[in-house]
Amino acid sequence: MADLAVNVILPWLWSRTNEGKNETLRQKIEWRYFAWPAAEDNSLLKLARGRLLGGDKHKTLLTAAAQQGSLQIVRDFCEHSNAACDGCKFPDLARAWATGG
C-alpha cells in the first residue's frame, strides 16, 4: 500500500490540487508525502544505501520520500555506471549543489 500511495495516489492528488490552485490542500499533501514512513527494504534500496551511504545499516532511509529519492539516483546514475562507480557524475553534482555551485 505504501508504494501505491507514494508513487500514484499522492502525486495524482498533488497534481490535481496544483492544477486547481488549492495551495492549502497541496501543502497538506506535500506534508503527507514527506512524512510517509519508509516501505519495505529491497535490493535496489540496499544498492542505494551501499553506494550513497557507504552501506551503513544504521543510516537507513526513514521515509518513503528518502527511499524514492535514493531510487531515482540509482536509476539516473548507478544504472549508467559500473560496479566501481567509475566516471559517475553524481558525486560532483552533489558537491556542487551542497556548495551552491
**78 confidence band (pLDDT: 50, 70, 90):** confident
**Can you point out the beta strands (E) in 21-88?**
none
> Tens of pLDDT along 26-43?
999 999 999 999 888 888
Mean pLDDT value of segment 85-100: 84
Angle at which helices 10-19 and 23-35 cross, to 10°:
160
Query: Among residues 75, 8, 9, 3, which one has the least CA distance to residue 39?
Result: 3
**84 confidence band (pLDDT: 50, 70, 90):** confident
Judged against a pLDDT cut of 70, whether residue 47 lies above it is answered with yes
Which phi and psi (to 5°) does residue 63 adopt? -125, 160
Domain positions in the chain are 1-36, 40-101
- Residue 7, pLDDT score: 87
The whole-model pTM stands at 0.77
Between CA 38 and CA 60 the distance in angstroms is 9
